[in-house]
Amino acid sequence: MGQVKKIMIVDDSRVSRMMIKSIVVDKNPHWEVLEAGNTDEALKLSINQVIDYFSVDLNMPGRDGLELIELLKPEFKSSKFALLTANIQQATHERAEKLIVQCFNKPVTNESINQMLRYFNE
């Protein structure tokens, strides 16, 4: 059995969360998975938690994924953050780079989530 890790999946699409969770659990059945549908849910759910990895959607109602990551990073200094986005704008990628966040392409596919998992396991 591998090391127990905790991942939070933040996406306003329930279908996307289900797909990501399915791929993550298939590859890492021992991981604990937390799910949030928006920034506010993610912030509430993260209180008093030790979370190793964050999979965060960029486009969500209210605050976007990068704003969420900016809020979480000070509390989760050793966590790895992945931004899932279909947004190919240079400004988005520059914001992500400044936050030391790796971008992965949407739509959610086995390949995109496997790339994210490889990044988390580096």
Express each pLDDT in 79-103 by its tens digit: 999 999 987 788 998 999 999 999 9
Is pTM beyond 0.85? Reply is: yes
Is a pLDDT exceeding 60 seen at residue 23? yes
Q: Distance between CA atoms of 26 and 48, rounded to whole angstroms? A: 27
Give the pLDDT mean for 9-29. Answer: 97
- The CATH architecture one would assign to domain 6-120 is 3-Layer(aba) Sandwich (3.40)
Is a pLDDT exceeding 60 seen at residue 1? no
Give the pLDDT mean for 33-62. Answer: 97
2-6, 96-100, 113-117: least confidently modelled range? 2-6
| Boundaries of every domain in the chain | 6-120
